A = this chain, B = another copy of it.
Amino acid sequence: MAPLYATTPEIQDGIRRAASVLREKGALVHCITNYVTVESCANAVLAVGASPIMSDEPTDVEDIQNICGALVINIGTLNQQTIQGMMAAGDAAARAKHPIVLDPVGAGASRLRTHVSSTLLNTLPVTLIRSNMSEAKALSGASAKTKGVDVNPEDAVTPENLERSARFARDLARNAGCVVAITGAIDLISDGQRVFAVGNGSPMQGRITGAGCMLSAFSGGYLAANPEDALFAALAAVVHAGVAGQRAQARMEGNPQDGTGSFRTYLMDALSTLTPDQLAAEARVEQVL
């Protein structure tokens, strides 16, 4: 089942609308994220038209969450103090009915990461899980051998396993009661009913750290601005990341000295300059279930 990515006008409209609303309304996004890619996350949130605020101290997070429109929890460098901060912030977000994004970095790679991400998912009203397929499998309880923080090649979504992968994404979304965005060479976004496959993106995004973290972070902005349509908010965010990756890669052509440093700069440039119309026009999306 090779996807055609013949993006329908309905899907294009949904992407354009989600991006336009974010640009018009803005959003303040509270991020508890790893210290590796946190600056890139903050800049990515700004690039798409939202504003970030980072706070993980347990006695600070409630006040911060209360002035924000969404919470993003990324467990990439979790520790005992930040785990407390994640729970306290999640409670505050739940009380305020703010969308919550969970990025279970390295779930399956260690017992602590698997346990904490499962606990967060079971305890908090998570709106969106954004992860790679290995982490999603670990979170679902399916056996998965996570290759560190990268996807295990055996878990990669391919044209050959697309239908089975799409059913997995749909079932995870259904069981978790939230939207799921499993990203990789082919991205799958599902709300438990429909499943979209996205063919945007560049292999270079796997050669820098933080491409997934950035997407999780600015998904919080998309969700805060579009709380009534989490599926299309997540889809638009995934497309935004993917189209930006393609533009960044295209800009490297003809510049043999460019490598991952320039790609990273070009990626942020593209995130910050893409318009809602461009996102809609360049989206490669197909409903596969």
Task: State whether the Cβ of A118 lies closer than 8 Å to any Cβ in chain B.
Answer: no
B contact residues around A46 at 8 Å (CB): 207-209, 260
Evaluate contact between A43 and B149: CB separation under 8 angstroms: no
| The stretch of A14-22, A71-79, A167-175, A176-184 that contacts the partner chain | A71-79
Residues from 131 to 150 in A contacting B, C-beta threshold 8 Å: 146-150
Task: State whether the Cβ of A210 lies closer than 8 Å to any Cβ in chain B.
Answer: yes
Evaluate contact between A210 and B265: CB separation under 8 angstroms: no
Evaluate contact between B268 and A264: CB separation under 8 angstroms: yes
Partner of A260, one of B36, B57, B259, B268: B268
Task: State whether the Cβ of A106 lies closer than 8 Å to any Cβ in chain B.
Answer: yes
Task: State whether the Cβ of A42 lies closer than 8 Å to any Cβ in chain B.
Answer: yes
**In the bound complex, how far is the Cα of B146 from the Cα of A2, in angstroms?**
50
B-contact bits for A88-131, CB 8 A (1 contact / 0 none): 00000000000000000010011111000000000000000000
Interface size on A, residues (CB 8 A): 65
Task: State whether the Cβ of A63 lies closer than 8 Å to any Cβ in chain B.
Answer: yes
**In the bound complex, how far is the Cα of B85 from the Cα of A128, in angstroms?**
31
**In the bound complex, how far is the Cα of B56 from the Cα of A27, in angstroms?**
31
| The stretch of A47-55, A156-164, A191-199, A281-289 that contacts the partner chain | A47-55
Q: Which 10 A-B pairs have the closest CB atoms?
A: A261-B268, A63-B110, A259-B272, A259-B269, A42-B209, A261-B265, A57-B79, A260-B272, A259-B273, A53-B148
**In the bound complex, how far is the Cα of B28 from the Cα of A47, in angstroms?**
31
B contact residues around A52 at 8 Å (CB): 149, 209
Task: State whether the Cβ of A39 lies closer than 8 Å to any Cβ in chain B.
Answer: yes
B-contact bits for A207-251, CB 8 A (1 contact / 0 none): 111100000000000000000000000000000000000010001
